[in-house]
Amino acid sequence: MAGVTDKAFRRICKEQGADVIYTEFASVDALLHGNDQTREMISCTDFERPVVVQLFGNEPKKFVRACKIVESMGFDGIDINFGCPAYKVIKNGGGVACMRNPALVREIVQAACEAVDIPISIKIRASINARITEQERLMDKSSAFQSAPLLDKEGVGGGNITALDIVKSIQDLPVAAVMIHARSYEQAFDGVPDLEMVKAIRPYVKGVLLANGGIHTPEDAKRTLDETGADGVGIARGAWGSPWMFRLIKDYMATGKYSMPDWDQKKEIILRHARLALETKGDHGLIEMRKHLSHYMRGFSHASDMRQQLVSATSYKEIEDILYNRLFVNDR
């Protein structure tokens, strides 16, 4: 997740049981331009390994060069993001917009696989409308949307490009893993995940199949695995504010039960996260930590005052004092 899965949060997730860590996604253009901020953003520690760098873009030749850079930095794998629905990404033809052109997806994946020796994986969505909508075109008159075919008002004739179309187009390539967000582009991050689509692509994925989207509890994870035949699950928003979710899922899959951390345990995880943010990014890390603090407070009764204080905190000591000196009911 852009702006979320930084070094500090990745370490917390690893400590809480995550098996494979993904960096924030990086633009291939930024890497090729030698952007120091991008290199720092994706840099990792040995503790986090295995670490996969997620890249986005839409030009195969640029992916070749960017993948070589990532490999030279010592990462364990590269994930190509064909699933992000963010406007700033798709307006330039990246992310899920690539799914509208399965031939381009294949060209990018093949180029990446041939460029490096480390594993290549991809992230896709359940589907995207094959043609651009008028609403998308109106988003930005200077964007890549302007050259795309326009869907008629009723949506007839556009159809969908599905995850099945994508995996069939690359099934002969040595793709190590496919992660599918089981919602359409149009659903973004809301609505019921299409687990039938995950199940449908299973026979065409020779590598690891990971299901993603709508997994916020251990029960969600088990149901997803049981109904789809996926090899594992990818947790993103489900771990934001609940990084212990990885451990809970593992416990539930192994024993059929799990135990939520109590407030004291959560408090120590939050404070460790804040210390790591301070260590890795200095005072700015604590400012960025505010978004995490807000998510950590979800699900608590009468926590609005504490949340307001936490997102205004300017030092580690202030965060510590707020967490230790306030009492409220734990509903989670």
pLDDT in tens, 58-82: 999 999 999 999 999 999 999 999 9
Residue 237 annotated as part of some ligand binding site: yes
Cα 191 from Cα 235, distance rounded (Å)? 17
Domain 19-234: assigned CATH number: 3.20.20.70
Closest by CA position to 82, among listed 117, 116, 112, 50: 112
Cα 181 from Cα 168, distance rounded (Å)? 17
Say what the pLDDT of residue 298 is.
Answer: 84
Q: Kindly give the pairing relationship between strand 120-129 and strand 77-81.
A: parallel
Q: Using the predicted structure, report yes or no on whether residue 290 has a pLDDT greater than 70.
A: yes
pTM of the full predicted structure? 0.89
CB neighbour list of residue 14: distance below 8 Å, 6 or more residues apart: 21, 47, 48
Say what the pLDDT of residue 156 is.
Answer: 41
Q: What are the residue numbers of the active site?
A: 84
Could you give the 3-state DSSP secondary structure of residue 321? Answer: helix
Taking CA atoms, 298 is separated from 1, 34, 275, 291, 321, in Å, by 19, 38, 21, 12, 19
Say what the pLDDT of residue 230 is.
Answer: 98
User: Does an H or E element contain 247, and which?
Assistant: helix 245-255
* Contact (CB, 8 A) for 227 and 202: no
Residue 54 annotated as part of some ligand binding site: yes
Cα 31 from Cα 73, distance rounded (Å)? 12
pLDDT category at 291 given cuts 50, 70, 90 is: very high
Cα 245 from Cα 249, distance rounded (Å)? 6
* Most confident listed range (32-36, 51-55, 328-332): 51-55
* Contact (CB, 8 A) for 180 and 197: yes
* Most confident listed range (1-15, 114-128, 129-143, 157-171): 114-128
Say what the pLDDT of residue 159 is.
Answer: 82
More confident: 91 or 256: 256
Residue 213 annotated as part of some ligand binding site: yes
Q: Using the predicted structure, report yes or no on whether residue 301 has a pLDDT greater than 70.
A: no
Cα 107 from Cα 111, distance rounded (Å)? 6
Cα 330 from Cα 230, distance rounded (Å)? 34
pLDDT in tens, 102-156: 999 999 999 999 999 999 999 999 999 987 666 666 665 444 544 554 444 444 4
More confident: 141 or 175: 175
Say what the pLDDT of residue 2 is.
Answer: 73
Residue 181 annotated as part of some ligand binding site: yes
Mean pLDDT across the chain: 89
Residue 236 annotated as part of some ligand binding site: yes
pLDDT category at 329 given cuts 50, 70, 90 is: very low
